[in-house]
Chain A
Amino acid sequence: MSFASIDFLIFFIVVILGTLIIQKFFSKRVKEVFLLIASYFFYGYWDWRFCFLLLFVTLSSYFTAKYKDKKGIYIIGIVIPLIVLGFFKYFNFFLESVSSIIGHDLGILNIILPVGISFYTFQALSYVIDVKREKIEVEDDFIRLALYLSFFPQLVAGPIVRAADFLPQLKEERKVSSENFKYGIQLMAFGLFKKIVIADHLSVFVDDVFKVPVAFHWATIVLAVIAYSIQIYFDFSGYSDIAIGCAKCLGYDFNSNFNLPYISQNVTEFWRRWHISLSTWLKEYLYIPLGGNRKGKVRQYINLFITMLLGGLWHGASWTFVFWGGLNGLALCIDKMIPKKKEKNLFDKVIGVILTYTFICFTWIFFRADNFTNAWDIIKGIFTLQKGISQPFVWAFVAIILLVIFTIGAIIKSHKNKDKYVDGYYPIVNLNTVFGLTIFFVVIGLIFCLAFTGEQPFVYFQF
């Protein structure tokens, strides 16, 4: 069940009403069980068999974390989610890669990739590792741990919520309240707008160009690459906003997953602003255990590169994703090598933003392309100033204008607050006023009427 569907709207209303009734008449325990059942229903709506896999990962984390002091069991606790992820997501990729190396077709298995597997296996790992590191205590309550791993707002496409952030919330008295709901529902509307109005319309154009790049004019290809950079940002950050808003309506808080990534002045900053929950996870559970920056410069570069390669692989079982990760890893290493100015003037900042955005757009080509030939066709089309179909796609310009307006708004807001670091913000209105309500319902009307009605799943579902 996608967030952008009538089915989810009904589900969400039922969950909110159910939680309201339960918190009024029943204990917190009943609410936890109710939310757990709702989350499994949400997940099973795609394919009920997926629920057993989720339960298996939960059981393994639950029991292995209990024996954190026994090294063998701790390792099992780490290995099981990795095996689950490796088998379902990477086994066929492995077979195909070996086949091409040995020149003999080994065939592939008919494996369905369970939705959200990359997200909940990472959460399971974070729980086991955090318990071992004694950042959190062992969770004796199976229902709570199961709810943490399956909580439907973040289950299928993140954000990757760390156990240390969420389990304590489950122990607190969190409630559906008018204030939470008013805030959460606006985040959901904002996310929905990004997803079904902007990202989905852009996908039409991006798909057309990436399907047959050789048919298009170079300027159209450039526009398509820019459009994709906005599509993936609005698609994924839109999903995150809906997830954060949804959790907020139920009384829970998730951290922000995106923070104006395209105003980054270098790649390091980009990765602090893009998919924050993943980059934080990779830093804490991969980069730092590899040695981080504690073992000298060369080792730091190697660690960074490996982290980004694996980060690329996490996104999808394809060499284009690995290459994309590698490019970002390389850029991070180069960025670390370049000495930084202490005080940057406006010109330096603007140049930094333009160069970083151009580089990131270049890497998105590999991220979006079906294969290297496809990516090469895109690059060749641009650099050879290819002639072809011109398609000045209107939604791409609408998206660019909206992005620029919101970014300028964020810069002005940060400037007013005398913040050095520009932070994103949600355009939240006061729903207790007529003005606020009018704005809210106008936005809802815009969302429904401008929505793309074709089928377009969230980009990050595939990961």
Chain B
Amino acid sequence: MILNVIFSFYFNPPTSDKEYEKSSFLVTPFKYEPMERFTYALEGHGHGRVNNDGYINVEDYDSNKEVNILMVGSSQFEAFQVDIKNSVTYRLNELLKNKFVYNIGVSGNAFPESITNIAPAIIKYKPTDYIILEMSDVKYSDQELSKVLEEEDNKKDSESSSGSKSVKNNNVIRKFYRNSSFLRLLWRKLEELTDNREANLPEAKEEFNEKLTGEVLNKIRTIVENKVKVIIVYHPSVSLESDGNLILLNNENVEKFSKLCTENGIYFLDMSDRFSAEYKKNNILPYGFSNTSVGKGHLNKYGHEMIAEELYKLIKEEK
């Protein structure tokens, strides 16, 4: 009990909605229990409340209210470990005063997996202006890309960052577990330990597959109605060189990817220049927090702010 109280301020993430996962109409591989309060401080510090729809937005979802811009993505768009009011969605809502920006980003739902559920997302939310997707690497394995093209429902592969697979299956244990910040944190630490042991496996190296990538982008364009514009936000990982300069990682194929986007009528927002400029001018990095390694991990509030501002510019230019 003492530990639960202590850790409720440190690690109390939202839990996944089991009822939703049983449904055949999945907008994202999973979503959170509606209206749950959450706090986490493993990376940075974030707290807030899941909205009535199971996603992390300041505003509740109202089916009568038009969604103008739909944000689809992973923990980065979810604003994992960042205060809800520092998220890209919240900032974009502030910038685009007369548009309603709605986020359905959830942990683990990275590009290209997020494309799998894009069709039901459009049916449900009917975005009028934009669908915005995000990615930190433009290169994906052939297997990942083929999976998207086969349109397999991959809900079983996705896992909430907030819990474990086995513990969630039993209702009694689950109830006890979800109410215990201590047990959830303990479980997470054990998972991290296991992950570290498995981390030494060699990474499969594959070339950038232009053909398959193009087909995936074409699929997005086919699913989304023509009047709705698609933006893919590319936010590259960064690293510091020994001389203090910023280097952008995994950016070898960005030009090719950007060209493929243009060919398929998709806007490609490359954050590389903005990230570099911000570092050069203000020594600010888009990733990392005051309790983690510099420049690594999730987008911090500055990263969210930069993306929101660049999206705002792009949307304004397109008007």
Q: Which residues of A contact B186 (CB under 8 A)?
A: 445, 448-449
User: Whole-angstrom distance from the CB of A73 to the nearest CB of chain B?
Assistant: 48
Q: Which residues of A contact B291 (CB under 8 A)?
A: 201, 393-395
Whether B196 pairs with A451 at a CB distance below 8 angstroms is: no
Whether A449 pairs with B196 at a CB distance below 8 angstroms is: no
B277 within 8 A of A: no
Partner of B293, one of A208, A215, A217: A208
| Partner-binding segment picked from B50-58, B76-84, B235-243 | B235-243
Partner of B243, one of A214, A388, A394: A214
B123 within 8 A of A: no
User: Whole-angstrom distance from the CB of A210 to the nearest CB of chain B?
Assistant: 11
A437 within 8 A of B: no
Provide the bound-state CA to CA distance between A446 and B196, in Å: 20
User: Whole-angstrom distance from the CB of B223 to the nearest CB of chain A?
Assistant: 39
* Contact A453-B189, Cβ < 8 Å, known A387-B283, A438-B2, A446-B3: yes
Q: Which of A423-463 contact B (CB under 8 A)?
A: 438, 442, 445-446, 448-449, 451, 453-455
Q: Which residues of B contact A207 (CB under 8 A)?
A: 293
User: Whole-angstrom distance from the CB of A212 to the nearest CB of chain B?
Assistant: 5
Whether A217 pairs with B283 at a CB distance below 8 angstroms is: yes
Q: Which residues of B contact A393 (CB under 8 A)?
A: 290-291
Q: Which of A377-434 contact B (CB under 8 A)?
A: 387-395
B11, closest chain A residue (CB): A449
* Contact A454-B290, Cβ < 8 Å, known A445-B3, A449-B182: no
Provide the bound-state CA to CA distance between A246 and B189, in Å: 24
Q: Which of B248-292 contact A (CB under 8 A)?
A: 283-285, 290-292
Provide the bound-state CA to CA distance between A391 and B294, in Å: 8
Partner of B196, one of A208, A387, A455: A455
Whether A453 pairs with B293 at a CB distance below 8 angstroms is: no
User: Whole-angstrom distance from the CB of A302 to the nearest CB of chain B?
Assistant: 39
Whether B283 pairs with A391 at a CB distance below 8 angstroms is: no
Whether B283 pairs with A212 at a CB distance below 8 angstroms is: no
Q: Which residues of B contact A6 (CB under 8 A)?
A: 193
A204 within 8 A of B: yes
Whether B2 pairs with A442 at a CB distance below 8 angstroms is: yes
Provide the bound-state CA to CA distance between A223 and B91, in Å: 32
The total of chain B residues at the interface (CB under 8 A) is 26
Whether A215 pairs with B182 at a CB distance below 8 angstroms is: no
B102 within 8 A of A: no
Q: Which residues of B contact A448 (CB under 8 A)?
A: 186, 189
Provide the bound-state CA to CA distance between A119 and B290, in Å: 37
Provide the bound-state CA to CA distance between A99 and B299, in Å: 47
B96 within 8 A of A: no
A391, closest chain B residue (CB): B294
Partner of B290, one of A394, A451, A455: A394
User: Whole-angstrom distance from the CB of B234 to the nearest CB of chain A?
Assistant: 23
Q: Which residues of A contact B240 (CB under 8 A)?
A: 211-212, 215
User: Whole-angstrom distance from the CB of B119 to the nearest CB of chain A?
Assistant: 38
B202 within 8 A of A: no
Provide the bound-state CA to CA distance between A217 and B282, in Å: 11
B6 within 8 A of A: yes
User: Whole-angstrom distance from the CB of A109 to the nearest CB of chain B?
Assistant: 27
Provide the bound-state CA to CA distance between A205 and B290, in Å: 9
Among B189, B242, B291: residue with most chain A CB under 10 A:
B291
Q: Which of A55-72 contact B (CB under 8 A)?
A: none
Partner of A214, one of B3, B193, B196, B244: B244
B125 within 8 A of A: no
Interface size class of A (residues with CB under 8 A): 20 to 34
User: Whole-angstrom distance from the CB of A115 to the nearest CB of chain B?
Assistant: 20
Whether B292 pairs with A204 at a CB distance below 8 angstroms is: yes
Q: Which residues of A contact B292 (CB under 8 A)?
A: 204
B216 within 8 A of A: no
Whether B243 pairs with A453 at a CB distance below 8 angstroms is: no
Provide the bound-state CA to CA distance between A248 and B292, in Å: 36
Q: Which residues of A contact B7 (CB under 8 A)?
A: 449
Provide the bound-state CA to CA distance between A453 and B192, in Å: 6
Q: Which residues of A contact B10 (CB under 8 A)?
A: 449
* Contact A449-B283, Cβ < 8 Å, known A204-B293, A388-B244: no
B185 within 8 A of A: yes
User: Whole-angstrom distance from the CB of B286 to the nearest CB of chain A?
Assistant: 12
User: Whole-angstrom distance from the CB of A205 to the nearest CB of chain B?
Assistant: 8
Q: Which residues of B contact A455 (CB under 8 A)?
A: 196
User: Whole-angstrom distance from the CB of A450 to the nearest CB of chain B?
Assistant: 8
Q: Which residues of A contact B294 (CB under 8 A)?
A: 208, 389, 391
Among B2, B182, B192, B294: residue with most chain A CB under 10 A:
B294
User: Whole-angstrom distance from the CB of A196 to the nearest CB of chain B?
Assistant: 10
B45, closest chain A residue (CB): A394
* Contact A212-B242, Cβ < 8 Å, known A393-B290, A394-B290: yes
Provide the bound-state CA to CA distance between A389 and B281, in Å: 11
Provide the bound-state CA to CA distance between A395 and B244, in Å: 24
Q: Which residues of B contact A394 (CB under 8 A)?
A: 290-291
Q: Mark A352-368, 1 if CB is under 8 A from B, else 0.
A: 00000000000000000
B199, closest chain A residue (CB): A455
Q: Which residues of A contact B189 (CB under 8 A)?
A: 448-449, 451, 453
User: Whole-angstrom distance from the CB of B41 to the nearest CB of chain A?
Assistant: 9
Q: Mark B178-212, 1 if CB is under 8 A from A, else 0.
A: 00001001100100110010000000000000000
Partner of A446, one of B6, B192, B241: B6
Whether A454 pairs with B196 at a CB distance below 8 angstroms is: yes
Q: Which residues of A contact B182 (CB under 8 A)?
A: 445, 449
Q: Mark A193-215, 1 if CB is under 8 A from B, else 0.
A: 00000000100110110011011
User: Whole-angstrom distance from the CB of A400 to the nearest CB of chain B?
Assistant: 14
Provide the bound-state CA to CA distance between A449 and B292, in Å: 16
Q: Which residues of B contact A387 (CB under 8 A)?
A: 283
Provide the bound-state CA to CA distance between A211 and B3, in Å: 36
User: Whole-angstrom distance from the CB of A381 to the nearest CB of chain B?
Assistant: 10
Whether B290 pairs with A391 at a CB distance below 8 angstroms is: yes
Whether B283 pairs with A442 at a CB distance below 8 angstroms is: no
* Contact A392-B193, Cβ < 8 Å, known A212-B244, A214-B244, A387-B283: no
Seen from chain A, the residues whose Cβ lies within 8 Å of a Cβ on chain B are 6, 201, 204-205, 207-208, 211-212, 214-215, 217, 387-395, 438, 442, 445-446, 448-449, 451, 453-455
Seen from chain B, the residues whose Cβ lies within 8 Å of a Cβ on chain A are 2-3, 6-7, 10-11, 182, 185-186, 189, 192-193, 196, 240-244, 283-285, 290-294
User: Could you write out 6 A-B pairs with CB less than 8 Å apart?
Assistant: A212-B242, A388-B283, A389-B285, A395-B291, A448-B189, A453-B189
Known contacts A212-B244, A391-B294, A445-B3, then 6 further A-B pairs from the complex at CB < 8 Å, ordered by chain A residue? A393-B290, A448-B189, A449-B182, A449-B185, A451-B189, A453-B189
Top-10 shortest CB links A-B: A215-B244, A453-B192, A214-B244, A394-B291, A445-B3, A449-B185, A212-B240, A208-B294, A389-B283, A394-B290
